[in-house]
């Protein structure tokens, strides 16, 4: 009796599903006008794509593009509920807290390999280097098409250098005399470590990558090697290894032993909760993501750009943040979505986007030249040299490579807080993180 009902119910369910898919396929037929949705952060450097739509629609009369948006903090929540409510956008990127691997392992992304192959897509046509294209491949399958590429750069306050009589740092990554120790020496000459906020200023703010990736600069790695090949699931955590502990000692030694870097309290009081203290003009050198360059025309001081100095790890000196575009799995119009993506990475549109966005670095290397020359008072050749070096000595951001990264990153932020404040020593805290992180990973990657 029960079984009969069950099979009857299954039959009905199956017919509905089949009918449902048949219907949705019907909608996507060529010739008809389809609407695709592009979901992004509600900020001018992202929503500028709205201004490109009229041109795109004129060139593709059967595709309409709708832009939906959310503030940064709510980006992930809106995306999750939209997917649950079958209102998923067609095109988006990991613009919220979560990174590529998180999207990938939650099964949100469409495998684009076949689509790209059918389309005859060739990255070289869009001047995207092969190794950049490879970042969003897993097991040989492509899940994302690069759009913008940010790197880690050193910004420096020329006024502070002039005042202290220190020579400007070089832009050439091959100038091996520009080392971490030399940077610390220069920083010492500019630092005034004072309790009085008006007098205090610091030589360097070393914001290289996120906290877990930062030790990579010193030749250590928090995660086991297999992380980079198995889909971002570290099998082992290395926070108990002496080279990792030494790296953290060096990083936080800048604040508390050498006293050439600002404490979090200082940074917050000159720039607010989330601001960059470099903007206040109280920091000599700042190692940051190149997005900070976009604001440079508003700075109250003369700014320069330089190579990240050579550290103990000669191979990795810059973190790359390549932002891709994804097509979500539930998209009913992947072909049209790909047309939109291809449009966004053409040389012409990438060049146009630099100005419309206020300085987003294009992934299309032909358009990059225009990007290098879009900053007041900075020589384009210097920016180009810094970017070239950063690509050569770059490693992709952990955020894009490790699964469940937002939770892992939060653990590091919370646990290292007391070390940054000077309440605890790195070597006291690292065993705690080791234990918590191992447990967290065991739970997440079961």
Q: Minimum CB separation from another protein for residue 357, in Å?
A: 8
Nearer to another protein, 68 or 224 (CB): 68
Which of 99/169 has CB closer to another protein? 99
> 147 and 325 in contact (C-beta within 8 Å)?
yes
Q: Which of residues 10-49 bind another protein (CB under 8 A)?
A: 41-47
Neighbours of 87 (CB within 10 A): 12
Cβ proximity to another protein: between 234 and 277 the closer is 277
Residue 10 or 74: the one with the smaller Cβ distance to another protein is 74
Token readout for 247 is 């790296």
DSSP per-residue codes, 172-187: -TT-TT-BHHHHHHHH
- Specify whether the CB–CB gap between 339 and 60 falls below 8 A: yes
Selected from 49, 166, 294, 354, the binder of another protein by CB under 8 A is: 294
- Number of Cβ within 10 Å of residue 107's Cβ equals 7
Interacting positions 241-280 with another protein (CB under 8 A): 270, 274-275, 279-280
The residues in 54-93 that bind another protein, with binding defined as CB under 8 A, are 66, 68-74, 77-78, 80-82, 84-87
CA–CA gap between residue 343 and residue 346 (Å, rounded): 6
Task: Considering the complex, state which of residue 41 and residue 204 has its C-beta at the smaller distance from another protein.
Answer: 41
Instruction: Please tell me whether residue 168 binds another protein under the rule CB under 8 A.
Output: no
- Residue 167 beta carbon to another protein: minimum distance, rounded to whole angstroms: 26
Nearer to another protein, 281 or 418 (CB): 281
Single out the segment in contact with another protein by CB under 8 A; choices: 114-122, 156-164, 209-217, 292-300: 292-300
- Minimum Å distance from CB 324 to another protein? 16
Shorter beta-carbon distance to another protein: residue 163 or 182: 163
Residue 260 contacts residue 184 (beta carbons within 8 Å): yes
CA 157 centroid distance within chain: 24
Give me the least distance between CB of 298 and another protein, in Å please.
6
- As given in the structure block, the two tokens for residue 186 are 């220069």
Find out whether 145 and 324 touch, Cβ atoms under 8 Å: yes
Number of H helices and number of E strands within the chain? 18, 12
Q: How far is the CB of 359 from another protein (least distance, A)?
A: 8
Beta carbon of residue 41, minimum distance to another protein (angstroms, whole number): 6
**Distance in angstroms (rounded) separating the CA atoms of residues 83 and 64:** 21
Residue numbers 300-319 binding another protein by CB under 8 A: 300
For the chain, the farthest-separated pair of C-alpha atoms sits apart, in whole angstroms, at 91
Residue 237's DSSP bridge partners are 223
Q: Please, which residues bridge with residue 67 across strands?
A: 38
Q: Quick one: 42 or 172, whose CB is closer to another protein? A: 42
Give the pair of three-digit tokens for residue 277: 């203290």
For position 409 contacting another protein by CB under 8 A, the verdict is no
The verdict on 295 binding another protein (CB under 8 A) reads yes
List, as one string, the DSSP characters of 309-375. Answer: PB-S-SS--EEEEEEEEEEBTT-S-HHHHHHHHHHHTSHHHHHHHHHHHTSPPBSSHHHHHHHHT-S
Among 28, 170, 253, 281, binds another protein (CB under 8 A): 281
**Cβ 136 to another protein shortest distance, Å:** 20
Query: Which residue is it, tokens 């920091």?
Result: 283
Size of the site for another protein (CB under 8 A): 42
Single out the residue of 427, 401, 97 nearest to residue 223, CA to CA.
401
Question: Could you say whether residue 163 binds another protein (CB under 8 A)?
Answer: no
Closest by CA position to 441, among listed 403, 413, 414: 403
Please return the burial class of 35, using the count of CB atoms within 10 Å of its CB with bins 0-12, 13-18 and 19+: exposed
State which of residues 152, 191, 286, 360 lies at the interface with another protein (CB under 8 A).
Answer: 360
CA distance 246 to 252: 10
Q: Is 198 in the site for another protein (CB under 8 A)?
A: yes
Interacting residue with another protein among 100, 104, 299, 340 (CB under 8 A): 299
Which CB, 11 or 265, lies closer to another protein? 265
Binding span for another protein by CB under 8 A among 4-12, 108-116, 226-234, 291-299: 291-299
Q: Of 121 and 405, which has the nearer Cβ to another protein? A: 405
Q: Specify the residue, 229 or 298, whose C-beta has the smaller distance to another protein.
A: 298
21-29, 246-254, 287-295, 344-352 -> range binding another protein (CB under 8 A): 287-295
- Least Cβ distance, residue 78 to another protein (angstroms): 5
E strand or H helix at 155:
strand 152-157
CB of 246 to another protein, least distance (A): 31
Q: Cα 14–16–18 angle (5° rounding)? A: 70
Residues that bind another protein (CB under 8 A): 41-47, 66, 68-74, 77-78, 80-82, 84-87, 197-198, 270, 274-275, 279-282, 291, 294-295, 298-300, 358-360
């Amino acid at each position: 009796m029960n079984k009969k009902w069950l099979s009857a119910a299954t039959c009905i369910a199956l017919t509905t599903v089949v009918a449902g898919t048949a219907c949705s396929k019907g909608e996507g037929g060529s010739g008809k006008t389809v609407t695709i949705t592009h979901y992004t952060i509600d900020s001018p450097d992202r929503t500028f794509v709205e201004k490109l739509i009229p041109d795109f629609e004129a060139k593709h009369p059967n595709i309409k593009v709708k832009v939906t948006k959310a503030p940064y903090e709510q980006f992930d929540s809106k995306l999750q509920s939209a997917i649950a409510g079958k209102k998923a956008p067609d095109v988006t990127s990991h613009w919220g807290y979560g990174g590529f691997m998180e999207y990938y392992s939650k099964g949100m992304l469409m495998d684009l390999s076949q689509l790209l192959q059918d389309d005859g897509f060739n990255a070289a046509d869009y001047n995207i280097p092969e190794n950049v294209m490879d970042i969003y491949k897993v097991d040989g399958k492509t899940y994302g098409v690069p759009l913008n590429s940010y790197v880690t750069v050193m910004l420096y306050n020329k006024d502070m250098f002039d005042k202290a009589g220190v020579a400007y740092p070089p832009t050439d990554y091959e100038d091996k005399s520009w080392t971490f120790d030399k940077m610390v020496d220069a920083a010492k000459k500019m630092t005034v470590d004072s309790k009085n906020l008006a007098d205090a200023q610091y030589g360097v703010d070393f914001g290289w990558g996120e906290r877990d990736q930062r030790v990579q600069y010193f030749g250590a790695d928090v995660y086991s090697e297999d992380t980079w090949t198995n889909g971002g699931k570290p099998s082992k955590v290395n926070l108990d290894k002496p080279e990792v502990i030494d790296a953290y000692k060096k990083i936080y030694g800048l604040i508390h032993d050498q006293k050439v870097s600002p404490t979090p309290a200082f940074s917050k009081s000159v720039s607010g909760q989330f601001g960059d203290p470099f903007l206040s003009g109280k920091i000599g050198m700042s190692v940051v993501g190149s997005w900070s360059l976009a604001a440079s025309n508003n700075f109250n001081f003369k700014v320069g750009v330089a190579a990240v100095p050579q550290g103990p790890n000669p191979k990795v000196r810059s973190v790359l943040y390549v932002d891709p575009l994804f097509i979500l799995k539930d998209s009913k119009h992947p072909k049209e979505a790909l047309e939109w993506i291809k449009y966004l990475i053409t040389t012409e549109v990438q060049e146009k986007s630099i100005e419309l966005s206020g300085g987003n670095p294009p992934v299309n290397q032909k358009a990059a030249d225009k990007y290098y020359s879009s900053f007041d008072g900075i020589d384009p050749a210097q920016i180009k040299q810094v970017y070239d070096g950063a690509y050569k000595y770059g490693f992709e951001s952990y955020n894009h490579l490790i699964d469940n990264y937002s939770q892992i990153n939060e653990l590091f932020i919370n646990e290292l807080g007391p070390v940054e404040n000077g309440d605890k020593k790195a070597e006291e805290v690292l065993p705690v993180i080791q234990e918590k992180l191992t447990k967290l990973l065991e739970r997440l990657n079961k």
